[in-house]
Chain A
């Protein structure tokens, strides 16, 4: 009944597609980054590292991720806990909480631009409350930290939803009996959260952290929308070299840097939050 080749025939299109358009291009990035007219060269990497924006872009990207991801994790955990406790209106609240999940980072940037721009809503509120005499230019190069703050807010606003969705579905997999057993043995709600929810949620935490950290390293449109090129980040620089400066090789070198920190952080989370196969639900 089962022709032996059927599963392979079904997998073939997707496999070929991923080999040609996923694995091969990543090899190509390395080739582009290291090849010059006379073969192998480190010249593009040197061009990249010696440019004054490289250091700032790298630092900005990593610092942004280091701030945004933990905030998102804590917020998502509280949101997920709230949702599981709600009795009425649960699905409506859940939908509202997940709305930003479907939004593009560019849209999120534009939304927060409406708040932070000079004639925007933040200035309007401050002016209305009599705190300021006239609107402040928040998103200028004099106030890079405000741009930074706006980017953090926009990122937290937009991408906490995805972490929450992953955690809520992970919590759904934890059998109720464990909580009831813990309650019978006298564990307080907080103890139950720390002793049962968190450890059993480890696989979900792991994939949420990997997903979000990688996405944080790819931050691009939010930054461009809020700060133009005032706040350099890795992905923005990659775009600049590729598009404005028309230098594919240096852009590829940048891509390799993003790839390197992405893989490093993935391995880190895989190792730190490893769950032995026998200990899974």
Chain B
């Protein structure tokens, strides 16, 4: 009798624990399937011949026919659109880090009147639907000759990316103890030398991650790209404008061309993702 009680209680506890464990694993698997299967299906379509893409019913297994990919790559305007996407994204990356990192450094190292006003300006950008900037900027750029240029679009994308660049670099610089810089000053460095020899090597990986993040923001942006470019369309602009006229296999290959670099980027910066958003929150 006592034996039964003693063995019984732990068993019910361990049963409950096992059930909880099962539930946890089951829901994890389910969520992974939910995230991964749609991407898998896109890849299947991309790696099938045009006939298979429009065929029915589908097997869900890729035939590794590169017909769709070839068709996409040789389609008029695609190569140029890919090039433009890269160009705009690189410009965005350079602009947002170039403008944002000094601001992030200033915010992390100095106390000065006007600091809060600048923070407010940066935080404010998040309350605005930024792609809409494309409308007035399109008008403004016609006047200065920046319309339909990579630089013009990169400027709009930089507005999207700069708040992140400022906040991320701010937290990166804040993570470097000021004593390291001070130690460098007492060891014979001026401000710039201390920055270059001590701070820069330490923040470089983080800066690279936020640059990749800026690149991804630009790479993925659709609305402004579609509004601002006509001749020099980016890949997203090209795809959205040809959606209703292009065949299915072109859409899917184009989708894959958008997705695959983004997957690589996210993988590259995954370590920083949470740190970035942890601060971007404040």
Touch test A–B (CB under 8 Å)? yes
Q: Give the B-binding residues of A (Cβ under 8 A).
A: 1-2, 4, 6-8, 10-11, 13-15, 17-19, 21-23, 25-26, 28-29, 32, 78-79, 82, 85-86, 91, 93-107, 110-115, 117-121, 123-124, 127-128, 135, 157, 161-162, 165-166, 168-170, 172-173, 203-204, 207, 210-211, 214, 217-218, 220-221, 224-225, 228, 235, 238-239, 242-243, 248, 251-252, 255, 258-259, 262-263, 266
A6 vs B263: C-alpha distance in the bound complex, in angstroms?
Answer: 39
In the complex the two chains form, is B56's CB within 8 Å of A124's CB? Answer: yes
In the complex the two chains form, is A29's CB within 8 Å of B136's CB? Answer: yes
Q: Give the A-binding residues of B (Cβ under 8 A).
A: 24, 27-28, 31-32, 34-36, 38-39, 41-42, 45, 53-60, 98-100, 102-103, 105-107, 109-110, 112, 114-115, 118, 121-122, 125-133, 135-140, 155-156, 158-159, 162, 166, 185, 191, 216, 219-223, 226-227, 236, 239-240, 243-244, 248, 251-252, 254-255, 258-259, 262-263, 265-267, 270, 273-275, 277-278, 280-282
Q: A14-B100, A157-B38, A214-B129 are in contact. Are A32 and B158 (CB under 8 A)?
A: no
Partner of B159, one of A18, A95, A157, A239: A18
A93 vs B45: C-alpha distance in the bound complex, in angstroms?
Answer: 25
Partner of A21, one of B128, B135, B137: B137
In the complex the two chains form, is A96's CB within 8 Å of B32's CB? Answer: yes
Q: In angstroms, how far is the closest chain B Cβ from the Cβ of A130?
A: 11
Partner of B45, one of A25, A114, A123, A242: A114
Q: Which residues of A contact B243 (CB under 8 A)?
A: 224-225, 228
A118 vs B96: C-alpha distance in the bound complex, in angstroms?
Answer: 42
Q: Which residues of B contact A86 (CB under 8 A)?
A: 24, 28
Q: Which residues of A contact B266 (CB under 8 A)?
A: 95, 98-99, 101-102
Q: A26-B133, A169-B278 are in contact. Are A135 and B56 (CB under 8 A)?
A: yes
In the complex the two chains form, is B125's CB within 8 Å of A18's CB? Answer: yes
In the complex the two chains form, is B99's CB within 8 Å of A13's CB? Answer: yes
In the complex the two chains form, is B244's CB within 8 Å of A228's CB? Answer: yes
Chain A-chain B contacts (Cβ-Cβ < 8 Å), number: 275
Q: Can you list 30 residue pairs at the A/B interface with Cβ under 8 Å?
A: A11-B103, A11-B107, A11-B118, A13-B98, A14-B162, A14-B166, A18-B122, A21-B137, A22-B130, A86-B28, A93-B28, A99-B39, A101-B273, A103-B220, A104-B258, A104-B262, A106-B220, A110-B254, A112-B38, A119-B248, A123-B56, A123-B57, A127-B56, A135-B57, A161-B35, A211-B126, A225-B243, A242-B227, A258-B132, A266-B126
Partner of A114, one of B27, B42, B239, B282: B42
In the complex the two chains form, is B118's CB within 8 Å of A106's CB? Answer: no
**Chain A, residue nearest B266 (CB):** A102
A204 vs B277: C-alpha distance in the bound complex, in angstroms?
Answer: 9
Q: A18-B121, A107-B220 are in contact. Are A252 and B277 (CB under 8 A)?
A: no
In the complex the two chains form, is B42's CB within 8 Å of A7's CB? Answer: no
Q: A102-B262, A135-B56, A169-B275 are in contact. Are A21 and B220 (CB under 8 A)?
A: no
In the complex the two chains form, is B31's CB within 8 Å of A7's CB? Answer: no
Q: A110-B252, A121-B41, A124-B56 are in contact. Are A1 and B191 (CB under 8 A)?
A: yes
In the complex the two chains form, is B127's CB within 8 Å of A210's CB? Answer: yes
Additional 10 contacts, C-beta under 8 A, given A123-B57, A214-B129, A255-B129: A10-B102, A21-B159, A22-B130, A26-B136, A99-B39, A121-B60, A124-B59, A124-B60, A204-B281, A214-B127
In the complex the two chains form, is B35's CB within 8 Å of A96's CB? Answer: yes
Q: Which residues of B contact A19 (CB under 8 A)?
A: 121
Q: Which residues of B contact A248 (CB under 8 A)?
A: 135, 138-139
A217 vs B223: C-alpha distance in the bound complex, in angstroms?
Answer: 13
Q: Which residues of B contact A26 (CB under 8 A)?
A: 128, 133, 136
Partner of A2, one of B105, B110, B273, B281: B110
**Chain B, residue nearest A266 (CB):** B127
Q: Which residues of B contact A172 (CB under 8 A)?
A: 274, 278
Q: Which residues of A contact B240 (CB under 8 A)?
A: 106, 221, 224-225
In the complex the two chains form, is A105's CB within 8 Å of B127's CB? Answer: no
> Which one of A18, A128, A162, A211 has the greatest number of beta carbons of chain B within 10 Å?
A18
Q: Which residues of A contact B126 (CB under 8 A)?
A: 207, 210-211, 214, 266
Partner of A157, one of B27, B35, B57: B35
**Chain B, residue nearest A153 (CB):** B38
In the complex the two chains form, is A82's CB within 8 Å of B27's CB? Answer: yes
Partner of A169, one of B39, B132, B274: B274
Q: Which residues of A contact B138 (CB under 8 A)?
A: 242, 248
Q: Which residues of B contact A23 (CB under 8 A)?
A: 121
In the complex the two chains form, is A239's CB within 8 Å of B132's CB? Answer: no
Partner of A7, one of B45, B110, B282: B110
Partner of B121, one of A6, A15, A113, A165: A15
Q: In angstroms, how far is the closest chain A Cβ from the Cβ of B202?
A: 18
Q: In angstroms, how far is the closest chain B Cβ from the Cβ of A16?
A: 9
Q: Which residues of B contact A15 (CB under 8 A)?
A: 103, 118, 121
